[in-house]
């Protein structure tokens, strides 16, 4: 924090339209607690965090926790929306490409997924915005809280995920299809449909759960970019605004929140994995 | 059966060769960019603002009349070499730390690995945005922000590999024949653990490129007027109605470059996996 250029006190005063002079600046610094030594500031902030108090925003004096709480719902909606969207697209595509391996569809979809995986989400956002808001005018440029407003930002977040998921699901299903029990079921005349949707899909989906957990980092990081572009009022946009305003308590609060969410998601993924795969459970504890 | 393995190995080799050639070509072009650009990438021209692509500027001009093609070429250098340098440094630092941790254990191991654990609790891009945002916009700060978590991957891999290998007879043999620790670590252990590390390094290049460009896009990486793909897209997005080429050209260049490096990573992984069998 201390290596950074720009003085939060000065930023605050300019933002309020107060003429900056040395006296006013000094007084504001004192109010904001900025003239104390670095370690003292950090110590009191840390003590606050441990008590569940994330401090107050430099910019408007609101509590950081309240600001984050307002944004977190929007970010959660966006992240969940894009997760569902990407699963809804990549599950059928992944299974289809695995079953029709090396067919025309498989080749096309694979090419698309490689291109999609190489696209940064800011580029996708800008392109989506251009085509759907300006060319076709199907969506509002600034995302509103409606389902329609949710679509473009979540699509922008979902496209890189889709390509990753599709490839992984395809690989997973292919691996599962190559296992002896599939050959056994086929030999016994079990219909291909039952093999695929009864056994193979269930077994192939277990590793996919981990994948969803692993993509949490991409989702959380990407949400900052996408929220900023689409003006989606989530925590990511809050953080970007805070960075521009040098509003350190909000940035710190945001990073802490993200870390907690990230660790929680990874924990949940591990637990879900144990539940879905009884072999991993302790003494059959996780058996269904 | 053996023939199948051999031919798939040959195919993997060919893929590595193709994508390596493409990547080297891109790197060479970006190095030679200052001599290849048809126009000065920083020269503004008020007569030719948002001009569509023509013979003089194959990708048109942006809102300040700068030649987009020249800027894309110059930006290639920033994007490709910043990503390469970032991966190289985090690879070297992470591998060295991981090897030392695995070899010596003890306090050093605890310290470094707990630090890595703490850093891994943050999603990489979130931490990078916060760090770059706080440090202020510059290419170096953006690379630093991405690298803060980047090294942990190599450190963990190298550590666990060294832990596995240090009990092997060849290590004891090297020690008995009078090798110093440095020689054991770098001449005997390093070549044996390099494979997975290199695969990870090559696969990371693309995502690092995207990360740095993302920071620049947000205005906390490379700052305008410097030619960099992320900041070019950010600058041009407002005028996309008038000059879509100013977004599409750097965007397209970015996607193609990242795809080539991603494919290179995939093919290297395939090659090393096959050879490991």
ipTM given for this complex: 0.78
**Of B219, B261, B262, B220, nearest to B80 (Cα)?**
B261
Residue-wise DSSP of chain A: -TTSSS-HHHHHHHHHTPPP-HHHHHHHHHHHTTTS-HHHHHHHHHHHHHTT---B-TTT--BHHHHHHHHHHHHHHHHHHHHHHHHHHHHHHHHHHHHTTTSHHHHHHHHHHHHHHTS-HHHHHHHHIIIIIIIS--S-SS--SSHHHHHHHHHHHHHHHHHHHHHHHHHHHHHHHTSHHHHHHHHTT--HHHIIIIIIHHHHHHHHHHHHHHTHHHHHHHHHHHHHHHT--SHHHHHHHHHHHT-HHHHHHHHHHHHHHHHHHHHHHHHHHHHH-GGGSGGGTT--
| Whether residue B2 has pLDDT greater than 70 | no
For the segment B147-166, what is each residue's pLDDT rounded down to a tens digit? 888 888 899 888 888 888 88
Q: What is the pLDDT of residue A200?
A: 83
As a whole number of angstroms, the distance between CA B143 and CA B137 comes to 11
Chain A residues whose beta carbon lies within 8 Å of the beta carbon of residue B259: 114-115, 117-118
For the segment B78-94, what is each residue's pLDDT rounded down to a tens digit? 888 888 999 999 999 99
Q: CA of B239, closest CA in chain A: separation in Å?
A: 10
Distance from the first to the final alpha carbon of chain B: 13
> Which residues neighbour A119 within 8 Å (Cβ) at sequence distance 6 or greater?
A159, A160, B255, B258
Mutate one of A1, A7, A221 to test the B interface: name it (highest B CB count within 10 A). Answer: A221
* Token code pair at residue A109: 């979809």
**Residue B27, SS3 per DSSP:** helix
**Of B206, B193, B211, nearest to B264 (Cα)?**
B206
Question: Which own/partner contact pairs does A183-188 have at CB distance under 8 Å and 24+ positions apart?
Answer: none
Asked whether A250 and A242 are in contact (CB, 8 A), the reply is yes
Question: What's this model's pTM, rounded to 2 decimal places?
Answer: 0.80
Asked whether A224 and A243 are in contact (CB, 8 A), the reply is no
As a whole number of angstroms, the distance between CA A79 and CA A154 comes to 7
Asked whether A164 and A210 are in contact (CB, 8 A), the reply is no
| Whether residue A58 has pLDDT greater than 80 | no
For the segment B17-42, what is each residue's pLDDT rounded down to a tens digit? 888 888 888 888 888 777 777 777 77
Residue B215 near chain A (CB below 8 Å): no
Asked whether B77 and B199 are in contact (CB, 8 A), the reply is no
> Which residues neighbour B277 within 8 Å (Cβ) at sequence distance 6 or greater?
B5
A126 to B127: CB separation less than 8 angstroms, yes or no: no
Find tokens 């390509």 and name the residue. Answer: A163
Q: What is the pLDDT of residue A190?
A: 83
Phi-psi category of A276—alpha, beta or left, where left has phi over 0 and alpha has psi -120 to 50? alpha
Enter the DSSP assignment of B183. Answer: H
A240 to B213: CB separation less than 8 angstroms, yes or no: no
**Residue B263, SS3 per DSSP:** helix
As a whole number of angstroms, the distance between CA B87 and CA B23 comes to 15
Asked whether B187 and B179 are in contact (CB, 8 A), the reply is yes
Q: CA of A239, closest CA in chain B: separation in Å?
A: 8
**Residue B276, SS3 per DSSP:** helix
For B110, B193, B275, the CA distances from B164, given in Å and listed in that order, are 17, 10, 20
As a whole number of angstroms, the distance between CA B89 and CA B103 comes to 21
As a whole number of angstroms, the distance between CA B205 and CA B87 comes to 6
If one compares B107 and A149, the residue with the highest pLDDT of the two is B107
What is the mean predicted confidence (pLDDT) over A90-117? 85
Q: What is the mean pLDDT of chain A?
A: 76
Q: What is the pLDDT of residue B88?
A: 92
B126 to A114: CB separation less than 8 angstroms, yes or no: no
| Whether residue A188 has pLDDT greater than 70 | yes
As a whole number of angstroms, the distance between CA A145 and CA B203 comes to 37
Q: What is the pLDDT of residue A287?
A: 39
Q: How far, rounded to the nearest angstrom, does the alpha carbon of residue A236 sit from its chain's CA centroid?
A: 10
Exposure of B106 in the CB half-sphere (CA atoms within 13 A): 4
- Domains of chain B are 2-40+57-275 (1.10.3720.10)
- Predicted confidence band at B274 (pLDDT cuts at 50, 70, 90)? very low
B251 to A127: CB separation less than 8 angstroms, yes or no: yes
- Comparing CB atoms, the residue among A1, A121, A220 nearest residue B134 is A1
Asked whether A96 and A104 are in contact (CB, 8 A), the reply is no
- Comparing CB atoms, the residue among A126, A130, A251 nearest residue B130 is A251
Chain A, nearest residue to B141 by Cα: A4
| Whether residue A53 has pLDDT greater than 70 | no
Q: What is the pLDDT of residue A36?
A: 59
A259 to B121: CB separation less than 8 angstroms, yes or no: yes
Identity of the highest mean pLDDT range in A83-87, A230-234, B166-170:
A83-87
B240 to A243: CB separation less than 8 angstroms, yes or no: no
Chain B, nearest residue to A256 by Cα: B122
If one compares B177 and A28, the residue with the highest pLDDT of the two is B177
Exposure of B120 in the CB half-sphere (CA atoms within 13 A): 14
Residue A37 near chain B (CB below 8 Å): no
Q: How far, rounded to the nearest angstrom, does the alpha carbon of residue A264 sit from its chain's CA centroid?
A: 13
* Token code pair at residue A111: 């090419």
- Predicted confidence band at A42 (pLDDT cuts at 50, 70, 90)? low
CB burial string A60-94: b at 16+ within 10 A, e below: eeeebeebbeebbebbebbbebbbebbbebbbebb
| Whether residue B114 has pLDDT greater than 50 | yes
Residue A6 near chain B (CB below 8 Å): yes
Q: What is the pLDDT of residue B92?
A: 92
Residue B217 near chain A (CB below 8 Å): yes
Q: How far, rounded to the nearest angstrom, does the alpha carbon of residue A115 sit from its chain's CA centroid?
A: 20
Strands (E), B35-151: none
CB burial string B109-128: b at 16+ within 10 A, e below: beebbeebeebbebbbbbbb
Find tokens 């090396």 and name the residue. Answer: A102
What is the mean predicted confidence (pLDDT) over B198-203? 86
CB burial string B57-91: b at 16+ within 10 A, e below: bebbbbebbbbbbbbbbbbbbbbbebbbebbeebb
Enter the DSSP assignment of B61. Answer: B
Residue A262 near chain B (CB below 8 Å): yes
């Amino acid at each position: 924090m201390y290596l950074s250029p720009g003085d939060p006190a000065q930023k605050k005063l300019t933002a309020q339209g107060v003429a900056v002079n040395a006296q006013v600046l000094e007084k504001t610094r004192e109010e904001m607690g900025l003239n104390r030594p670095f370690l003292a500031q950090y110590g009191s902030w840390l003590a606050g965090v441990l008590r569940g108090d994330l401090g107050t925003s430099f910019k408007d004096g609101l509590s950081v926790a309240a600001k984050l709480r307002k944004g977190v719902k929007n970010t959660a909606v966006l992240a969940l929306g894009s997760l569902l969207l990407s699963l809804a697209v990549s599950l059928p595509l992944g299974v289809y490409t695995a079953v029709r391996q090396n067919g025309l569809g498989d080749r096309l979809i694979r090419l698309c997924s490689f291109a999609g995986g190489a696209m940064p989400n800011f580029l996708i956002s800008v392109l989506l915005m251009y085509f759907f808001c300006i060319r076709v005018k199907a969506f509002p440029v600034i995302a509103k809280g409606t389902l329609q407003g949710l679509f473009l930002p979540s699509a922008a977040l979902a496209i890189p995920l889709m390509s990753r998921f599709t490839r992984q699901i395809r690989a997973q299903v292919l691996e599962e299809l190559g296992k002896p029990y599939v050959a056994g079921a086929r030999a016994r005349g079990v219909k291909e449909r039952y093999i695929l949707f009864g056994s193979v899909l269930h077994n192939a989906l277990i590793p996919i759960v981990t994948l969803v957990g692993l993509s949490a980092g991409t989702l959380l990081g990407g949400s900052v970019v996408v929220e900023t572009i689409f003006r989606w009022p989530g925590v990511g946009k809050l953080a970007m605004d805070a960075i521009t305003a040098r509003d350190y308590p909000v940035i710190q609060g945001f990073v802490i929140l993200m870390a907690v969410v990230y660790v929680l998601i990874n924990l949940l993924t591990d637990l879900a994995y144990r539940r879905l795969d009884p072999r991993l459970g302790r003494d059959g504890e996780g058996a269904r | 059966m053996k023939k199948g393995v051999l031919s798939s190995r040959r195919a993997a080799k060919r893929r590595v060769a193709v994508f390596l050639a493409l990547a080297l070509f891109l790197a060479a072009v970006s190095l030679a960019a200052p001599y290849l650009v048809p126009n000065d990438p920083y020269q503004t021209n008020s007569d030719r603002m948002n001009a569509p692509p023509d013979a003089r500027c194959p990708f048109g001009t942006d809102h300040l009349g700068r030649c987009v093609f020249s800027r894309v070429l110059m930006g290639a250098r920033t994007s490709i070499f910043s990503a390469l340098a970032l991966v190289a440094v985090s690879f070297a630092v992470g591998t060295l730390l991981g090897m030392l941790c695995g070899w010596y254990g003890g306090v050093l191991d605890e310290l470094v690995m707990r630090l890595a654990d703490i850093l891994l609790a943050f999603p990489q891009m979130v931490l990078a945005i916060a760090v770059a945002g706080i440090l202020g916009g510059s290419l170096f700060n953006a690379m630093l922000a991405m690298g803060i978590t980047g090294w942990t991957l190599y450190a963990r891999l190298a550590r666990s590999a060294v832990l596995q290998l240090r009990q092997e007879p060849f290590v004891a043999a090297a020690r008995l024949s009078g090798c110093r620790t440095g020689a054991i670590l770098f001449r005997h252990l390093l070549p044996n653990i390099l494979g997975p590390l290199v695969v990870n390094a090559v696969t990371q290049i693309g995502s690092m490129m995207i990360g740095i460009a993302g920071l620049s896009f947000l205005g906390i990486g490379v700052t305008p007027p410097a030619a960099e793909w992320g900041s070019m897209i950010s600058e041009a997005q407002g005028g996309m109605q008038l000059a879509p080429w100013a977004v599409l050209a750097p965007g397209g260049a970015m996607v193609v470059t990242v795809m080539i490096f991603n494919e290179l990573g995939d093919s290297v992984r395939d090659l090393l996996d096959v050879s490991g069998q």
